[in-house]
Structure 1
């Protein structure tokens, strides 16, 4: 499905709210999209992988890339659609970006109405800020092999799926040894490591809902809260407690 919300301005702002569990079906658009949410967690899925977008982060979607989005929690989506000719150089693949406080306020201002979004100063500042955002390692790669694709797609939609690699082997008609080799060849990690990364991303909405770090770490198979926090810091640049404290400060700002 081709969707276009583009106007004559370089950047078009589009606010839309979604309830917990909502799903935006697979579609594409001729503009690039900076997908950002004031609250809630989004999971973007394309043919090449999946990206998890917690609050204070955004995902860049280049023009004409098919994608679908799953919502966790109440998602207040605030997107920027940017004409292809105005896209910053170097942003030719999907990636998660760290949103600066300035860009957050510009996005919120732009989505309040067309008179704000069309302001030339706001337009220029948004494009300049997007071009300077830090790229974060929140990408979950997808394989090319059709058997792995089925396994990975199922785990992305249900991260707490209990199937072992041997269970999946029976379902897809391949030996567990073959699947082990394919995971390492195509994704560069083991089945358990790939699944653990998916489950780590699943931890974000649970932490935002107030579950303890210890409980989430135990449920996701980490030996300790410290081990879970180390992985969390590697991916998000902060410990779970630091990240949640920063989000609480953001929530006090006017949406």
Structure 2
């Protein structure tokens, strides 16, 4: 059982690895920390933390200068079922607890008290997935690549189907079967994630809206606030 905080430079990649004896709860009070497995990518931010089960092969990629708060849990202490990462919403209270628990030089008794409360609050936390799943079917993978290659240009599912050798109905079925979501919902998650990266990099709200394919800045603000729980302006200010 351990906990610590450390700063990570923008663009850092932590190569594929796993933790055999420990689960990992990762939170960032600034920046973006993406955890990728063979099944997809899960995103930690100032509003979300990522639980990665023990023995799960994964890698990390950092966007923006990032302050990481990391807690490890013994393999027998399972807070979430399954062998894939889980993203949870971080409340104001949980944020303060995670930041306090990872301070340097805390007495062991204080750490144990903090971790006991964190354990309870994490178990009660809402699931808040910001997940970018990895496609298995090559036609679906090709369609996703066409979208992510240029988010500034909205692509209909019919346009994607015509360029990946399938029908729009079958491509829609692939999105539901593999990702458990519709094409518009998947594209929204991709655009919100890229918007987080742009805002962390210093882009304005209007620039970000254009680069990520929203027709108007107001539409971007509405969508970002609905998904992230705060406006892009507030997110940008916190990142700065």
SS of the equivalent of 2:76 reads: helix
TM-score (norm 1): 0.74
- Asked whether 1:232 is paired with 2:229, we answer no
Once the 2 structures are TM-superposed, how far is the Cα of residue 242 of structure 1 from its aligned partner? 4.3
- Asked whether 1:206 is paired with 2:198, we answer yes
Report the counterpart of residue 32 of structure 2 in structure 1. 41
Once the 2 structures are TM-superposed, how far is the Cα of residue 160 of structure 1 from its aligned partner? 5.3
- Asked whether 1:78 is paired with 2:69, we answer yes
CA distance in 1, matches of 2:93, 2:33: 22
SS of the equivalent of 1:230 reads: helix
Structure 1 residues 112, 238: CA separation in 2 closer, same or farther (over 3 Å shift)?
Answer: closer
User: Is the Cα contact below 8 Å between 1:142 and 1:152 reproduced in 2?
Assistant: no
Report the counterpart of residue 7 of structure 1 in structure 2. none
- Asked whether 1:23 is paired with 2:23, we answer no
| Superposed CA offset, 1:190-240 (max 9, x none) | 3x7634531321111322344222221111111111221222123112332
* Unmatched 5+ stretches in structure 1: 1-10
Alignment of 1:172-251 (within 5 A): 175-177=165-167, 180=171, 182-187=174-179, 188-190=181-183, 194-244=186-236, 247=238
Structure 1 residues 227, 90: CA separation in 2 closer, same or farther (over 3 Å shift)?
Answer: same
TM-score (norm 2): 0.78
Alignment of 1:72-221 (within 5 A): 72-88=63-79, 93-113=84-104, 115-116=106-107, 119-146=111-138, 148-149=140-141, 152=144, 175-177=165-167, 180=171, 182-187=174-179, 188-190=181-183, 194-221=186-213
| Superposed CA offset, 1:49-80 (max 9, x none) | 22222223211112222211111111121111
Structural RMSD (CA): 3.4
* Unmatched 5+ stretches in structure 2: none
CA distance in 2, matches of 1:35, 1:128: 16
CA distance in 1, matches of 2:145, 2:56: 18
SS of the equivalent of 2:2 reads: strand
Q: Which moved more, 1:54-63 or 1:19-28?
A: 54-63
User: Is the Cα contact below 8 Å between 1:159 and 1:202 reproduced in 2?
Assistant: no
Corresponding pairs, count: 233
Once the 2 structures are TM-superposed, how far is the Cα of residue 180 of structure 1 from its aligned partner? 2.9
CA distance in 1, matches of 2:73, 2:18: 13
Once the 2 structures are TM-superposed, how far is the Cα of residue 40 of structure 1 from its aligned partner? 1.0
User: Is the Cα contact below 8 Å between 1:117 and 1:123 reproduced in 2?
Assistant: no
